Amino acid sequence: MSGLQWLVAASYFIAATLFLLGLQRMASPRTARSGIQWAGVGMVLATVATFFVPGLANIGLMLVAIALGTGLAWVSGRKVAITDMPQMVALYNGLGGGSAAAIGAVELLRWSAAGGAPARLSLVLAVLGALIGAIALSGSVIAWAKLDGRMDKRYVFPGQQLFNLAVFVGALIAGGLIAHALGMPAIVVFFVLALALGVLMTLPIGGADMPVVISLYNALTGLAVAFEGYVLGNEALIIAGTMVGAAGMLLTRLMARAMNRSIASVLFSSFSAGGGAAAIEGSQKPIEAADVAALMAYAERVVIVPGYGMAVAQAQHKIWELSQRLIERGVKVRFAIHPVAGRMPGHMNVLLAEAGVPYDLIVDMDDVNPEFPNTDVVLVIGANDVVNPVAKTDPQSPIYGMPILDVVLAKSVVVIKRGKGTGFAGIENALFYADNTRMLYGDGAEAAGALVAELKGLDGGH
């Protein structure tokens, strides 16, 4: 190995170490920012080192691609609102998978033109990486469309799973033909079927399952990148792809467990696929902002439960201002986070961090649930399915068995909600009809602002 090759290999090793350390630091909100920076430095190092690989071609095209990608990412990263972050994550997942699929396509076409692949293992991994990457690409695009409100929640038709299975088998057969004898027709059919499979897999999945879907496609993207890294002989891609795939699969399992669902049930059914839930008796009882402010001002313990509605209303800053005023009055305030609240894993944590909420006030579901019976007031803003008590009380409900935040056990519950509609899973929420629940109707930010104003009034206008 030449001195230059040793330098490239050493750079890849350092980059992989930075990836690993960065991923480890991302596990905690306190160190997540620096973790992203460390991983970013590793990616820059790996990219620069690649230009020194002996015999590298198409450097001009690589520079153009890097410039375009960097420019688009910089603009989109600055312009995309925090409420649209799940959609951007879905698209970025898809782009990663698409890149892996493109690498596989280029290698397969190159080998076909040359009259054969250099090694059977490389050919098989190229096909598998292309299959997985193409599925992640088209599936992520559909997930983006659903999250962005451009597509109805679910599309189903009779015999859908059997049809999907037939498409999957067809893709495998086309992949086998490629591995047996490289040829343009088989390659084209293979990619068409792989892209179609990603679309067909995602169409029937309901919105409530989107956090799991995003995590799963992230894992698939990492796996595809690792396979194609082996094909290219690029150690950095192999290591980075393996870490992303492993982390994505672990996160997918955690998200599925938080919903008490298997990954298979997410892919082949949906929360909204059921529907034999019992009717909910009673009525929703409205309350005015002045009464809510007084209730919270003289409470000892207040827990705030944020959800996607808070993100849509951009109410996180007002909610934190409200919390600060309560804390100044001696009220113990905490934020309760369900693992799948929002549209992606960690969505609520990102919103609260943006507003400046200290990490020690943010509590996970398992830690906060035992505290609800001793909580004076729970303020729910934008959350719906993750606080629905039918998950524990109604075996006929499609979400029965899903772990929830037990806010119904608190002494008083106030729900800020724009209207009387259902949540993203399309299920009526029994919490809204409970005896200890009151509804503060209106836009999340406006309602939070009204509560702040009422608290100022209680404090003499200060």
Give the pairing of strands 301-306 and 332-337.
Answer: parallel
| Buried-state track 353-380, b at ≥16 Cβ within 10 A, e below 16 | bebebeeeebeebeebbebbeebbbbbb
Per DSSP, the residues of 323-336 read: HHHHHHTT-EEEEE
What is the rounded distance in angstroms from the CA atom of residue 269 to the CA atom of residue 92?
Answer: 25
Return the H-helix or E-strand segment holding 458.
Answer: helix 444-458
| CA 407 – CA 334 distance, rounded (Å) | 13
> What is the distance in angstroms between the CA of the first residue and the CA of the last residue of the chain?
72
**CA-based torsion, 355, 256, 205, 187: positive or negative:** positive
What is the Cα–Cα distance from 399 to 388, expressed in whole angstroms? Answer: 9
Cα dihedral 282, 284, 285, 290, rounded to 10, equals 160
Q: What whole-number distance in Å separates Cα of residue 350 and Cα of residue 359?
A: 11
Hey, what long-range contacts does 262-265 have (CB within 8 A, 24 or more apart)? 263/212, 263/216
Active-site residue (options: 209, 385, 394, 406): 385
Is 435 known to be catalytic? Answer: no
The alpha carbon of 174 is separated from its chain's Cα centroid by a whole number of angstroms, namely 32
**Which residues have a catalytic role annotated?**
385
